[in-house]
């Protein structure tokens, strides 16, 4: 982690002395530091916007309303979706700790300078006591974030005046992970931080790409047959219809193969003969994507499979298809590139 030990050591020293973190760390603001006039305008906008109420999930999996009387100013964000969604909305200067990104090179280039200004960043979570000292007014994360082994439950934080927001698709209580859930999370973040216009623009951009694929499937009458797997040892774990990846594929007019299966063999992959194969890669293996693809291209038994013959095997980094937030746009484009290579020709693959 770049400057990691320096940053956390200094942060803890400042906290111990009772000094605000912002006194030492530069704050990222769009277009540079705001003028007094723009600050007054922003305050007036906020006054007109709040209070706002959103429906969010608690650590029991129940949906409940949370009301915000003002925009959060000190945010702890856990996992890539949380961090990048806030950066995309232009409120990166509010993040005091951002955890769950293995390397800043996996961030979109336009977010990296903001990310580097966050006082604490790491793949690893801070402990609960340190986060408490950071005095957050909201913690944004996954369902697993608010567990006894990580940061305790949402009730613990609510009793201490700290708001929480859980990505719905990260919850084991949510039976189906959907594109619509991701849209709703982004729009809710826009509402909470008074960035609704930006949030709508992000969501509309994703809907446009999905709509483009749907129109192609309708016009041609063809629904490309796609299979989504993760290589685990010698077995292939299947991402079915209840996963976000599966829902993206089906939303784009593709036919999701073995939608109710959890695992298949090499022999079954050959028999299924998918038009496109999507291989999910988790954080620790992002740097091994080429090796993982080689497993499929170098296996002689796969030579006759359509996706191998036509070079339509695409990597799906976990950040793009699991509680993805703004990075679901990458998942949409990666899957689009595999299903409709001509239509999504200009979209880059994962590197």
Q: Which helix (H) or strand (E) holds 211?
A: helix 196-220
Please indicate, yes or no, if residue 209 is contained in any of the structural domains: no
- Looking at the fold, whether 184 and 234 belong to one and the same domain comes out as no
Q: Which residues contact 265 (CB under 8 A, 6 or more apart)?
A: 235, 236
225 and 285 in a single domain? The answer is yes
CATH classification of the domain holding 270? 3.40.50.1980
The parent domain of residue 229 ranges over 221-339
Tens of pLDDT, residue by residue over 199-224, are: 999 999 999 999 999 999 999 999 99
Together in a domain, 152 and 246: no
121/14: higher pLDDT: 121
> Does one domain contain both 49 and 190?
yes
Residue, of 43 and 295, whose pLDDT is higher: 295
In a shared domain, residues 182 and 232:
no
Average confidence (pLDDT) over 106-125: 93
Asked whether residue 95 is assigned to any structural domain, the reply reads: yes
| H helix runs in 286-343, sequence order | 289-297, 306-309, 328-339
Number of domains in the chain: 2
pLDDT band, very low/low/confident/very high, at 7 (cuts 50, 70, 90): very low
34 and 128 in one domain? yes
Residues 95 and 238 in one domain: no
- Cα gap 246→255, rounded to integer Å: 9
Q: Which long-range contacts (CB under 8 A, 24 or more apart) does 343-347 make?
A: 343/212, 343/213, 343/216, 344/213
What sign for the dihedral angle of Cα 12, 18, 23, 26? Answer: positive
41 lies in some domain = yes
Quick one: how many helices (H) and strands (E) in the chain? 13, 13
Beta-bridge partners for 313: 277
Please give the Cα distance from 235 to 267 (Å, whole number). 11
Same domain? For 181 and 252 the reply is no
Q: Has residue 309 been placed in a domain? A: yes
Residues 44 and 168 in one domain: yes
The tens digit of pLDDT for each residue in 122-173 reads 988 898 899 999 999 999 999 999 999 999 999 999 999 999 999 999 999 9
Whether residues 82 and 134 share a domain: the answer is yes
Yes or no: say if 120 and 7 are a contact pair by the CB < 8 Å rule: yes
pTM to 2 decimals? Answer: 0.86
Residue 277 and residue 338 in contact, taking contact as beta carbons nearer than 8 Å:
yes
Is 123 among the domain residues?
yes
Q: How far is the C-alpha of 245 from the C-alpha of 230, rounded, in Å?
A: 12
The DSSP H or E segment spanning 313 is strand 313-317
Domain membership of residue 274 (yes or no) is: yes
Residue 133 belongs to some domain of the structure: yes
Instruction: Identify the CA nearest to 96 among candidates 179, 33, 41, 22.
Output: 22
Indicate whether 204 belongs to any domain: no
Same domain, 240 and 180: no
258, 332: one domain: yes
**pLDDT at 264 exceeding the cut of 60:** yes
Smallest Cα–Cα separation from 181: which of 192, 171, 191?
171
From 194, 212, 229, the end of a domain falls on 194
């Amino acid at each position: 982690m770049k400057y990691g030990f320096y940053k956390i050591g200094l942060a803890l020293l400042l906290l111990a002395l009772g000094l605000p973190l912002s006194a030492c760390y530069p704050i990222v603001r769009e277009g540079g530091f705001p003028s007094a006039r723009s600050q007054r305008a922003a305050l007036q906008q906020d006054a007109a916007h709040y209070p706002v109420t959103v429906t969010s999930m608690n650590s029991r999996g129940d949906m409940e309303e949370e009301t915000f009387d003002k925009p959060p100013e000190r945010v702890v964000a856990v996992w890539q979706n949380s961090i990048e969604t806030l950066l995309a909305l232009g409120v990166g200067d509010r993040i005091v700790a951002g955890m769950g990104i293995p390397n800043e090179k996996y961030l979109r280039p336009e977010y990296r300078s903001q990310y580097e200004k966050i006082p604490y960043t790491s793949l690893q979570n801070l402990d609960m006591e340190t986060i408490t000292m950071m005095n957050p007014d909201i913690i944004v994360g996954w369902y697993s974030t608010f567990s006894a082994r990580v940061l305790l439950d949402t009730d613990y934080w609510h009793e201490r005046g700290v708001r929480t927001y859980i990505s719905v698709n990260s919850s084991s209580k949510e039976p189906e992970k959907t594109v619509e859930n991701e849209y709703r999370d982004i729009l809710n973040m826009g509402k909470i931080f008074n960035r609704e216009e930006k949030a709508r623009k992000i969501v509309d951009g994703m809907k446009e790409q999905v709509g483009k694929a749907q129109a192609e499937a309708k016009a041609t009458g063809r629904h490309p047959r796609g299979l989504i797997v993760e290589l685990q040892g010698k077995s292939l774990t299947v991402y079915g219809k209840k996963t976000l990846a599966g829902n993206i594929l089906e939303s784009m007019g593709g036919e999701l193969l073995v939608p109710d299966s959890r695992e298949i063999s090499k022999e079954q992959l050959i028999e299924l003969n998918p038009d496109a194969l999507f291989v999910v890669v988790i954080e620790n293996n992002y740097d091994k994507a080429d090796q993982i693809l080689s497993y499929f291209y170098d296996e002689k038994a796969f030579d006759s499979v359509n996706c191998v013959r036509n070079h339509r095997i695409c990597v799906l980094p976990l950040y793009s298809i699991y509680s993805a937030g703004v990075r679901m746009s990458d998942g949409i484009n990666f899957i689009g590139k595999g299903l409709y290579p001509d239509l999504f020709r200009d979209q880059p693959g994962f590197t």
